[in-house]
Each structure stands twice: as structure tokens, then as C-alpha cells.
């Protein structure tokens, strides 16, 4: 099969894969779709801490939105994280105006993808918003209520790690020689801008290959395990199992006890 890039944009791509044997369009399309929606790693803000706020049902003086609405808006901030561990980012804004994702101060290993995303509105010149956020990497979706208990003042956020919100695929019949029942798979991928559609498709295929390879190697690994196992089923190398007890530095009493029990090899102990 060949892959053709039909459309390529920053957050949308269409790819055609053909020819595929009859039935493999749906087999491959469904598998890729499920992996794209669930198993592509991404980054998200998982918790926040706002100065003077102790829970998400609070209000902030000088801020138009309440904390619940601010939390919802923060969930929409999309970012890339190149760090394996959680990273702290911060936001400090004084004076009237709209607070946007661009106002977030992030280290070099975190990149804000949608800087024009609105977070809240400060409606007083003397008001100030100070916030600390934690960015983590993960897969899929992690609800806030499944998080460990946090210290007072830290508010957990539903983390949407997946960078692929939507996938669609269509299978059509095509002609190959005299046969007209071969499949053509057209797959559409929408991303949040933190990953290119082509990269997401490639990563999804790699995930499927890794799982398939584990199954493909099952017989070989089982055979290798059986060949190295001892006759009694224990994982003892054969050369050690068959070592005569005479070669061990045993006391006379111990040696005689083993002999009376008809034990002549190390593996029998």
C-alpha cells in the first residue's frame, strides 16, 4: 500500500492509504482511529494555585469571572511540554484588560500553542491576578476527582492530554487489475495544534506495531523460555541443574544425608 497526503495543515490532515486487501480498510481504519483518540501523548495543565483563593467556588476581587469559569478557560490552554516531569508555569497580571495564554510565563521546555486564548478579564486598574500552574504529560483524559488529595489552595483540573480531538475515516472500493473489491482508506485527523496530523498518524501506527510485535514474538519467546528451563520446570540453567553434589564443598555429614535421600544433582535439592 501507498500513503498519499491529500491535505496537510497545522491542525488538520487527510491521508489516503491504498490499495488494501478486501476488508483491511475497516480493520486498519478502526484500529488507527481508536489509537489516535486514546494513545497519543500530550501535555495539559493539571492543577492551579491562585493567590488568595482556597477553592474553586471562590470569587476574586477585580476579576470579572469566578474561579470556576477561570478553571474552565484554563482547560482550553494547549501547550507542548518537552519535560518528562511536571513543570511549574506562572501568570502575573496587573491592571484592567483581558488575561490571555500569552501572559503565562513558561520555561523553555514548555510552549504555549494558542497564546490568544482568553483566560479571564481584570476589570479594575488596581486589581492583580497571580497564579501558579502545573503542566504534566500524559495520555487520554484524567478527571480532577481521580487525583490524590492536594494541599489547601491547590485546585485540580480535568486534564485533557490527548492532542487529537477528532478522527474520521471512509473506506471505498477500488480496482486493482481485474479485481474491484480492494479497499481505499481515507482518514481525516484533527489536532489541537500541539502535534502535526502526519506525526500523530505515524505515532499511532508505531503503537499498533509495538503491540503486534509482542504477539508475533510470542512463540519464539515461549520456546526460548522452555529451552532454558530446568527439567523440573524451574528457571535453573541446565549446566547448574546437572552439577553433581560431589563438586560442592559440602561437609561429610551433609553429603551423606543427601546421598541417603538419593539426591545426586544440584537441581534436585
Q: Which pTM value belongs to this model? A: 0.74
User: In angstroms, rounded to a whole number, what is the distance separating the alpha carbons of residues 144 and 160?
Assistant: 10
21 lies in some domain: yes
What is residue 235's predicted lDDT score, i.e. its pLDDT?
56
The model's pLDDT over 240-250, given as tens digits with 9 standing for 90+, comes to 677 776 666 66
Question: What DSSP designation does 212 have?
Answer: H
3-state secondary structure of 255: helix
Shared-domain flag, residues 241 and 195: no
The whole-number average pLDDT for the span 68-83 is: 93
DSSP E strands: which ranges in the chain? 2-8, 12-20, 42-50, 79-81, 87-94, 97-100, 104-105, 110-112, 118-122, 128-138, 141-142, 154-156, 159-160, 166-176, 179-190
Provide the domain limits for residue 64: 42-160
Shared-domain flag, residues 156 and 46: yes
Given a contact cutoff of 8 angstroms between Cβ atoms, the answer to whether 73 and 117 are in contact is yes
3-state secondary structure of 247: helix
Among 197, 190, 199, CA closest to 167? 190
Question: What DSSP designation does 167 have?
Answer: E
Shared-domain flag, residues 46 and 154: yes
Among 138, 82, 77, CA closest to 108? 82
Choice among 36-40, 139-143, 233-237 with the minimum mean pLDDT: 233-237
Shared-domain flag, residues 201 and 132: no
Residue 58: pLDDT band (50, 70, 90) is: confident
Shared-domain flag, residues 94 and 60: yes
What is residue 64's predicted lDDT score, i.e. its pLDDT?
92
225 lies in some domain: no
User: In angstroms, rounded to a whole number, what is the distance separating the alpha carbons of residues 104 and 93?
Assistant: 9
What is residue 250's predicted lDDT score, i.e. its pLDDT?
62
Shared-domain flag, residues 61 and 148: yes
The whole-number average pLDDT for the span 193-219 is: 89
Choice among 23-27, 169-173, 221-225, 242-246 with the minimum mean pLDDT: 221-225
When divided into structural domains, the chain yields a total of 3
Given a contact cutoff of 8 angstroms between Cβ atoms, the answer to whether 11 and 182 are in contact is no
Residues in Cβ contact with 102 at an 8 Å cutoff, skipping those fewer than 6 apart: 112, 115, 116
Amino acid at each position: 500500500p501507498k500513503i498519499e497526503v491529500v491535505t496537510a495543515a497545522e491542525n488538520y490532515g487527510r491521508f489516503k492509504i491504498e490499495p488494501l486487501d478486501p476488508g483491511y480498510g475497516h480493520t486498519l481504519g478502526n484500529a488507527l482511529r481508536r489509537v489516535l483518540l486514546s494513545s497519543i501523548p500530550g501535555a495539559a495543565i493539571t492543577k492551579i494555585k491562585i493567590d488568595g483563593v482556597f477553592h474553586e467556588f471562590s470569587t476574586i476581587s477585580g476579576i470579572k469571572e469566578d474561579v470556576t469559569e477561570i478553571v474552565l478557560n484554563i482547560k482550553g490552554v494547549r501547550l507542548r511540554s518537552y519535560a518528562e516531569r511536571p513543570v511549574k508555569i506562572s501568570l502575573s497580571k496587573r491592571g484592567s484588560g483581558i488575561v490571555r495564554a500569552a501572559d503565562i510565563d513558561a520555561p523553555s521546555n514548555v510552549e504555549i500553542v494558542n497564546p490568544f486564548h482568553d483566560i479571564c478579564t481584570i476589570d479594575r486598574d488596581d486589581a492583580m491576578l497571580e497564579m501558579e500552574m502545573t503542566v504534566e504529560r500524559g495520555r487520554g483524559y484524567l478527571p480532577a476527582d481521580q487525583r490524590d488529595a492536594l494541599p489547601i489552595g491547590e485546585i485540580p483540573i480535568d486534564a485533557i492530554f490527548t492532542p487529537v480531538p477528532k478522527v474520521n475515516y471512509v473506506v471505498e472500493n477500488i480496482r486493482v487489475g481485474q479485481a474491484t473489491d480492494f479497499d481505499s482508506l481515507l482518514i481525516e485527523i484533527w489536532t489541537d495544534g500541539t502535534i502535526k496530523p502526519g506525526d500523530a498518524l505515524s505515532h499511532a501506527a508505531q503503537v499498533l506495531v509495538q503491540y503486534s510485535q509482542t504477539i508475533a514474538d510470542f512463540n519464539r519467546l515461549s520456546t526460548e523460555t522452555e529451552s532454558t528451563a530446568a527439567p523440573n520446570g524451574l528457571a535453573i540453567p541446565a549446566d547448574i541443574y546437572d552439577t553433581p553434589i560431589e563438586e560442592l564443598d559440602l561437609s561429610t555429614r551433609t553429603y551423606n544425608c543427601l546421598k541417603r535421600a538419593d539426591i545426586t544433582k544440584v537441581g534436585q535439592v
